[in-house]
Amino acid sequence: LNVLKVDEGRITHVLSHTANDENLSTEAQSPQRDDTEQESLRLCDSVAIVGRGNVKILIAEDDPVCRRVLEATLVKWGYEVLVTSDGIEAWQALQGENAPPLAILDWMMPGLDGIDICRKVRAMSSPTPIYIILLTGKSQKEDLVAGLSR
Amino acid sequence: MKHDGSKAPVTLVTVNRENDDGVLDWPTALACVNGDVKLLGTLVELFVKHSPRLIREIRDAIARGDRLGLVHAAYALKKSVSNFCAWRAFEAALRLELIGHNGDLYGAEEACAALEEEIERLRPKLTALAGGCSSD
């Protein structure tokens, strides 16, 4: 699970939570000034690794403007994009047989929040992990912990 | 669709809030979409089409005393306008979102009026800029 902290459209924090069946590790970075580029590259590195081959990415975003930005960016980067506009639709897509391995979810959405979907995905038995990126402007430590612990 | 595994391009944009009037910062907004004028024009169209609904949702939520509804609609509008670096509207929407979080909706109507004013200021500027770009 990656939690992105985005302020005014700029990534300021990336929290990575790498999980397998036996081992959980949490890595948090709070970049210093000018480290935004490094953080952005780290994020894009991880997306690029996942992106080798045929990769579908689910996006769940209720705002049409932000949804279009996300979709256009990912398509430009060469990904197949599955677009949903609320949490319920996103959750349905993630339960399907060909569920996307990566989901970019807005934290706050009608129906089901991104954070609710995180909890459901964690509880779901799946042969392959689903990676989740949460988009949020929330800035408190407890918000980040909430994102990582669901 | 196949991805070649190469790193995705990264564009870092520095927001300069001194060079705009706070209504919008078109050059920065354009830089945020890698100079894709067509995409930015589409975003403007979407904003012009959907922002009245969000304003209505905000008004209705205030009238109903629906805090969560207010937070959702104000948050959505805040995200929308951030794509145009429209900071005055952003801050007006943020104020409403915080009012929704805080409880009794005190000051919500005034904050809503201020937001509507900012959106009314923003919309024609966006439309003019987007129209100017498409005719280039």
Q: Which residues of B touch A36 (CB under 8 A)?
A: 12
For B79, the closest of A40, A52, A63 (CB atoms) is A63
Share the mean pLDDT of chain B.
Answer: 86
Residues 84-103 of A with CB under 8 A from B: none
- Annotate chain B with three-state secondary structure: CEECCCCCCCCCCCCCCCCCCCCCCHHHHHHHCCCCHHHHHHHHHHHHHHHHHHHHHHHHHHHHCCHHHHHHHHHHHHHHHHCCCCHHHHHHHHHHHHHHHHCCCCCHHHHHHHHHHHHHHHHHHHHHHHHHHHCC
pTM above 0.80, yes or no: no
Share the mean pLDDT of chain A.
Answer: 70
Contact A68 B15 (CB under 8 A): no
For residue A140, what pLDDT band results from cuts at 50, 70 and 90? low
Q: What is the C-alpha separation between A52 and A3, in angstroms, rounded?
A: 22
Predicted local confidence at residue A101, as pLDDT? 92
Asked whether the predicted pLDDT for residue B135 surpasses 70, the reply is no
pLDDT in tens, A76-123: 889 999 999 999 999 999 998 889 999 999 988 888 888 899 989 988
Q: Is A51 part of the contact surface with chain B (CB cutoff 8 Å)?
A: yes
Q: What is the C-alpha separation between A82 and A103, in angstroms, rounded?
A: 9
Q: Is B83 part of the contact surface with chain A (CB cutoff 8 Å)?
A: yes
CA A148 remoteness from chain centre: 11
Contact A40 B12 (CB under 8 A): yes
